[in-house]
Structure 1
Amino acid sequence: MIDADRLQFQSHQYSGQHGGTRLIVTGAVHGNEICGTHAIVRVMRELDAGQLSLRRGSVTFVPVTNPLAYAQGERAGERNLNRNLFPNTHPQDFEDRVANWLCPLLARHEVLLDLHSFNAASEPFVMVGPRNNDGPLEPFQHEAQERALARRLGVRRFVDGWLRTYGDGVQRRLAGSGELQTVLRYGIGTTEYMRSTGGYALTLECGQHSDPQAPEVAYRAILNTLAFLGLIDAPAPEPVAPEQMEALSMVAVYDKQDAGDAFSRNWSSFDPVRQGEEIGRRVDGTPVLAEFDGRILFPDSGAGANSEWYYLTRANLSF
């Protein structure tokens, strides 16, 4: 049994001699997603050995963002850290205490690279934020910089639309309820919080949890980010060519209505679906059919009743 009260938080900062961007790189926001941890430790060793040299700006590394979840080898310690990420004057759980340390740390930086992995075997991808807007959900003004960096991380697949689609699902579940804004806050994670402080941020999903290539994807992304932002003396990475890109927008989220609802096959993220194709069945046998051609994202066979079951994406032709 791990004594959460004895755990501590660690970050490691390197600063160049000249002004530049303030970057933060995080790993193990979810404790069983350790590819980012391995990659961060590798880059830190190279900096410590003089194989890499930070010339401008600064970079802060957080190899293990959630030490309780990491020590347990599980996604969460007491709850999902990457939801409802805000400082809390009356912390109720371990992740609240992480947030009270992490949020001010994020706010002192300009750019966040958050390194994750996923359950089912699939291709790495990066999640980007919204278009520039002044709206109430996720106002943002760094679309060009964020998407330019995304194209240089070394992956070819890009997904946007998370908070908007999540919010649509919340509104459907809580129609007529006074809890909407409270629950919408639950959709705020590291990147959304970073954008709320005036910075920009990317979530890089580096591959399947146990894929030996996932730490390599994370390592390459860190080096490419350092080079692209000018923090190290290295050639600027070339952007992925438009003809090689696959850009998708999250369009709709579908819920389990009952814990007994089940998929009709073992879906993986980015599996293609055709309009009318059966995705699953409700507990009473009613088929759940795809409403349009697209790709499935984040299918969760273990989801509980009245929670997200899967998302559908459409091609984004204007990335």
Structure 2
Amino acid sequence: MHISSEQFLPPSYFEYARGNGPGPRLIITGAIHGNETCGTEAITRVLADLDSGALTLRSGRVTFVPITNPLAYARRTRNGDRNLNRNLFPTAHPQNFEDHVANWLCPLLARHDVLLDLHSFNAPGEPFVMVGPRNNTGPLEPFQHEQAERALARHLGVQRFVDGWLRTYGDGVRRRLDDAQQIETVLRYGIGTTEYMRSTGGYALTLECGQHQDPQAPEVAYRAILNTLAFLGMTDGPPPAPVDPHAIEALSMVAVVDKISAGDRFSRPWRSFDVVAKGERIGKRADGTPVLAGFDGRMLFPDSAAVAGGEWYYLTRTNPEF
């Protein structure tokens, strides 16, 4: 679909501000992917709480974007023309609907300090939060808000934490390619909402609230919004208690395995966070060569429909230092 700038209608967003006290500038997004509606439902519920007076903003500014990708949302599909949560940059010559959304969304993100991005996932499983890198000044994802970001993550109400996305994705890109300019182009594809937010000097969390149709997913999202507002001191009442340290399951993405041929097959229908033992058979190549796990860990983002030359699955390791 080609939509001109004149035809593009920006998504609706709702701003609440309180001038009586200083506070952070928070933005909360839902439906980056159109079939992930738990965030939309939770945001709508919080907006009703604010409008009725059941919830009062005491400091700072919060912006809600219930439906960030209206085309995908209207279709109830993950994407409209492309994945909005990849290659998220402004562009002078938008070629598709998501390019127009990016041109609108990126400046909005840059006006804020903190992002909570609400998602859901396809297979059954428990909620988890994706966090950013350690503080660093490296070229891939320089960052200086590790402590604040991870402190917020511990107060969202979930127990599973995953880091290492862009680093591990980047390792796979460099392994596949040998042209520096092409590497830089493909690395941009790994940039989504949270990565873009960090690039503007803020910090951000992606909360995966549960399976798309799980009736508890909107509840997870709603609780996370309330917890975020309270933890940041933007609403009345004490901050929420952090997750029990003994209950935390922290994982780091450490390896990505590519699908070499269309004939490569998994040994079974893997799901994210399935336990994988060193030497366990993950699948086999088209020529019959077995694909074995190189270490004890957990599966993440297995994609049986991956194209040849693309990411087939990721492996994580326990991270005892989260």
Q: Is the 8 A contact 1:279 1:289 kept in 2?
A: yes
1:209 aligns with 2:205: no
- Name the CA distance, whole Å, in 1 between partners of 2:260 and 2:199: 32
Q: SS of 1:302's equivalent?
A: coil
Unaligned runs of 5+ in 1: none
Instruction: Say if 2:80 is the partner of 1:77.
Output: yes
How many Å apart are 1:124 and its aligned residue?
0.5
Q: Does 1:11 align with 2:22?
A: no
1:284, distance to aligned residue in structure 2 (A): 2.1
Query: Could you tell me which of 98, 101, 107 is aligned with 1:98?
Result: 101
Secondary structure class of the residue paired with 1:251: strand
Runs of 4+ in 1 over 3 A off after TM superposition: 1-8
Residue equivalent to 1:126: 129
Question: 43, 58, 63: which is aligned to 1:60?
Answer: 63
Given candidates 262, 265, 270, the residue that maps to 2:265 is 262
- 5+ residue gaps, structure 2, are none
Query: What is the CA-CA distance between 1:301 and the residue it aligns to?
Result: 1.2
TM-score normalised per structure 1? 0.97
Which residue identity lines up with residue 284 of structure 1 in the other structure? D
The amino acid of 1:188's aligned partner reads I
1:200 matched to 2:203: yes
Q: Give, in whole Å, the separation in 2 of the partners of 1:86 and 1:205.
A: 22
Alignment deviations for residues 102-142 of structure 1 (CA, whole Å, 9 cap, x no partner): 00000000000000011111110000000001110000000
From 156, 161, 164, give the equivalent of 1:153. Answer: 156
Contact residue 7 and residue 68 of structure 1 kept, 8 A:
no
Question: Structure 1 residue aligned with 2:298, among 295, 308, 316?
Answer: 295
Q: Which of 95, 107, 118 is equivalent to 1:115?
A: 118
Q: Contact 1:2/1:71 (CA < 8 Å) preserved in 2? A: no
The Cα of 1:286 is off from its aligned counterpart by 1.7
Instruction: Please give the secondary structure, in 2, of the residue aligned with 1:114.
Output: strand
Alignment RMSD: 1.5
Match of 1:174 in 2: 177
Aligned-residue offset at 1:177: 5.4
Q: Is the 8 A contact 1:7 1:67 kept in 2?
A: no
Equivalent residue number for residue 139 of structure 1? 142
> Does 2:48 correspond to 1:45?
yes
User: Partner residue of 1:309?
Assistant: 312
TM-score, normalised to structure 2, is: 0.96
Number of residue pairs the alignment of both structures matches:
319
Report the more deviating stretch, 149-158 or 87-96.
87-96
Structure 1 CA distance for aligned equivalents of residues 278 and 176 of structure 2: 24
